[in-house]
Structure 1
């Protein structure tokens, strides 16, 4: 059971965030070339045969969006014959979903940076208006890793970390008194929701029964911690560092500790747009790939942080994004600062860009675990319909990528999580059955 927050002060912060979103309207705010200090690459001959030069692509202002931003700022979309790609800033994942459902013909979007499970939910009609099925394609992964779970200063003494059982006694005590602890994520059934649920359940805490689960836009997470409206959250950056810089809490874990090089955001398009513009789609993916390679060069990371911090993109101070992008992780409590950490966000290395079907299977299996899609869902059929890794491979071929840069299969194989649990994509049912806390 998911709970509602009743206290008026708590309602105010959450309602204020929602009202701000409505005030912005579904179309978000359109952005063009930022005029940042980054010099553009000299344009090569534009790819011929594109059915259009235009596409409206949504993004959220966080570090995961860096490849899209770099592709725009460095004119890589133009290099591949797509000079009129428009990046459209979105205030939340819910607005992103709605704008994809509207489509560009109605002032919405053709494609977007999305939470990896979103295209599946949209294709199945589980999160769309009137549950209307909207066929979607995943054409690339934007990044791996780089997220985290943070808690407020009230839990400094608990030294919360990968082991969520450290707060189990408090969870139980508060629940008995009717004061449920409150944890936030940014979209039901999305990456942060699923990882937060997994972390709590691994510590013996039922995320459906023992705590309150809230959907809060990323920009509203730190303000809600400040007024004790929520106890913790799972999200990407810059919000963890902002929490620490404002001395309001600390990071219990970065999600590469949870699951090394786990899949994160994806680039997804409406299927009807891709079907009408297959060459244009491939050109966008090629531009994205070149941007991802640029983003993962260590010498470019600081410059990337400076670009993404611009008001046109993430609109945050450089200090709130640069450290974790360059490998320095300050957890904000008594845990030592990690220098040259391997637990950073990746955009290209270790096949970060490739949309493994096995990763999409984990997302679907976890959504089954919590009753957010039916357990009898034909996952192979759905994944084969939504995941267009073939477009990624076609783009890779035209970019003359080496064999080492292109995965041999659509599965990354058995995945191991921080608690020792393994997910074998060849047998997801065994994985689901092995989990002690679940709704399914």
Structure 2
């Protein structure tokens, strides 16, 4: 099931709007703000947003051209190019939506059993090894979230492949599964961590800046042939998103951003839940709070540039944690082919961003 939100420029109606998919997560904010605040229109684009249920749906809709572009996991661009659990499809990103933004969240039951970090999680696994296997949820098999949870577990001496089960659950459903007791923890972007803390069903032992500061998280994913055959629209989209991301990182805009994201057609959660990670203080649970300044970066510190180094961190995670099936090798140029810094910089050129006095036509 999807939810569609459409806006078109007042000047001329194109034959078909550019269709962009997103998942109900705070890191979709630049896409939503570009839509709500007129940045797509400013850059001559007519856009239709489509709220999707899970990442596999997003991937498949991009592959089959049901979406022109999508809020996507950075790792998904790489896995789709490799054909991991899907048809191989040449995809790329010219824009990183955010760095940081994830949490590991554990159940209150684990807190009550004495778990405080990965080391005490290992102790609990040893104590309970004859009675149960602990289950952790991630949003996608090939994701930064799985890298995070594996890194966190290994830091405590836990083998993610032998000592626990890791299952895939769509982001909005993780909170419900934790509340129901079908999983014992998860790694996801907000607001689904802050909601668990607020409802007192979970707490956070670690967040992105604790685990991998500055890692690339979500991106805008397109088919490579879309970037080639509809290059002007693609670059206009990147330019619009750049302006929106810069606005999302302005401190004085964050309270308004929380209200926008909270709306039913977007996150559909109370604004006060979203505020924890966007305005702060961020609440880990059980009395521990910190500034939210570095929880998520939408634009700061070169966040939007899809550099080879950002792709390399993801590929390294795939290799370190043996995410790749036997027989699959990563081409040496995959990072540079998937994360296109050149397209990002081309979209920023004043000579290109200034000429948007008419609506682009969508075939």
Decide whether the 8 Å contact of 2:248 with 2:254 is kept in 1: yes
1:355 to 283, 306, 315: 306
2:78 is paired with a residue whose SS is helix
Decide whether the 8 Å contact of 2:104 with 2:205 is kept in 1: yes
Partner of 1:98: 60
Instruction: Indicate yes or no: 2:244 matched with 1:282.
Output: no
Give deviations 1:265-287, integer Å, cap 9, x for gaps. Answer: 01110111111111111000000
Q: Give the TM-score taking structure 2 as reference length.
A: 0.91
Instruction: Indicate yes or no: 2:322 matched with 1:367.
Output: no
TM superposition shift of 1:205: 0.4
Instruction: Indicate yes or no: 2:14 matched with 1:63.
Output: no
Partner of 2:128: 174
CA distance in 2, matches of 1:135, 1:87: 23
CA distance change for structure 1 residues 52 and 143 in 2, over 3 Å: closer, same or farther?
farther
Decide whether the 8 Å contact of 1:148 with 1:240 is kept in 2: yes
CA distance in 1, matches of 2:347, 2:306: 13
Structure 1, unmatched stretches of 5+, are: 1-23, 35-42, 402-440
2:83 to 118, 122, 125: 125
Instruction: Indicate yes or no: 2:41 matched with 1:78.
Output: yes
Decide whether the 8 Å contact of 1:44 with 1:79 is kept in 2: no
CA distance in 2, matches of 1:164, 1:399: 51
Partner of 1:18: none
CA distance in 2, matches of 1:101, 1:400: 28
Give deviations 1:214-272, integer Å, cap 9, x for gaps. Answer: 11112221221122211111001111111112111211122112122221101110111
Decide whether the 8 Å contact of 1:159 with 1:252 is kept in 2: no
Partner of 1:391: 343
Instruction: Indicate yes or no: 2:14 matched with 1:31.
Output: no
Give deviations 1:154-177, integer Å, cap 9, x for gaps. Answer: 12246655x4111101112323x1
CA distance change for structure 1 residues 187 and 146 in 2, over 3 Å: closer, same or farther?
same
Structure with the larger RCO, 1 or 2 (CA within 8 Å, 6+ apart): 2
Give deviations 1:342-364, integer Å, cap 9, x for gaps. Answer: 33211011111111211211211
1:146 to 96, 101, 119: 101
CA distance in 1, matches of 2:70, 2:185: 27
Decide whether the 8 Å contact of 1:141 with 1:267 is kept in 2: yes
Q: Give the TM-score taking structure 1 as reference length.
A: 0.75
CA distance in 1, matches of 2:232, 2:85: 29
Give deviations 1:120-149, integer Å, cap 9, x for gaps. Answer: 111111121xxx211101111000112101
Decide whether the 8 Å contact of 2:262 with 2:269 is kept in 1: yes
TM superposition shift of 1:376: 7.0
TM superposition shift of 1:378: 4.0
Higher mean alpha-carbon deviation, 278-287 vs 380-389, is at 380-389
CA distance change for structure 1 residues 56 and 287 in 2, over 3 Å: closer, same or farther?
same
Structure 2, unmatched stretches of 5+, are: 354-363
Partner of 1:346: 297
Give deviations 1:60-102, integer Å, cap 9, x for gaps. Answer: 01100000000001111111111x2111111111111121122
Higher mean alpha-carbon deviation, 373-382 vs 255-264, is at 373-382
Partner of 1:4: none
Decide whether the 8 Å contact of 2:7 with 2:47 is kept in 1: no
Give the root-mean-square deviation of aligned CA atoms.
2.4
More strand by share: 2
CA distance change for structure 1 residues 309 and 341 in 2, over 3 Å: closer, same or farther?
closer
